[in-house]
Structure 1
């Protein structure tokens, strides 16, 4: 394990940074508990001369916790349910998935 991977493990173990979530596959009956870092940035989308501001939900999850997320999979955080939309993207070190979510 390299130093960056060890640092990511510590960040995801920190209760101030990451929370526990439940992942459920859309294809099989698989489910597992994972730790995620939740982000909710605003996005500005331009359409002609207009700009639209929209809320988003993005999660970071370790590849070691969730090796193969797919669009349509369900993520439950507390009482909130989200569906993965779009293809998950890995970071340059191939350690972290970034998942774009929509409310379920």
Structure 2
């Protein structure tokens, strides 16, 4: 078994256990179901004497489910819609898309 297959099986297990059901909506095709892992990295920004706490919603999904995501597509997770705001990035093994999103 090659390393790509090993990583692929590990990723599938991670999405099965930690992922959530979602709907991927693209202007180029009909909506379809997939599994995603939503993340909310936190940032502290300094503005003068004040600090502002922000969250940037990121959504990860498998290349095997969504082969060609594009900026502007939407993902519905737990009844909330998120729009992909930046060009999606692949992980180092080319198995997971990382997207920066904003609530619609």
Q: Give TM class, smaller chain.
A: 0.7 to 0.9
TM-score normalised by structure 2 residue count = 0.85
Structure with more helix by fraction: 2
Shift of 1:44: 3.5
Partners of 2:49 and 2:69 in 1: CA distance:
36
Where structure 2 has 5 or more consecutive residues not aligned to the other structure, the ranges are none
The 5 Å alignment of 1:83-98 reads 83-98=83-98
State the distance in 2 between where 1:23 and 1:76 align.
Answer: 7
Q: TM-score, normalised by structure 1?
A: 0.85
Shift of the alpha carbon at 1:43? 2.2
2:16 corresponds to 1:9? no
SS at match of 1:9: helix
Matched pairs, number: 101
In structure 1, list runs of 5 or more residues that go unmatched.
Answer: none
User: 4+ residue runs of structure 1 moved beyond 6 angstroms?
Assistant: 47-50
What is aligned with 1:33?
33
- The Cα shift of 1:84 comes to 0.4
| Structure 1 residue 52: Cα displacement | 4.1
User: CA-to-partner distance for each residue in 1:39-75, whole Å, 9 max, x for gaps?
Assistant: 1111244678875431110111000010011111011
Please give the root-mean-square deviation of Cα atoms over the aligned residues, in Å.
1.8
Q: 1:67 to 1:45 in 2, by over 3 A?
A: farther
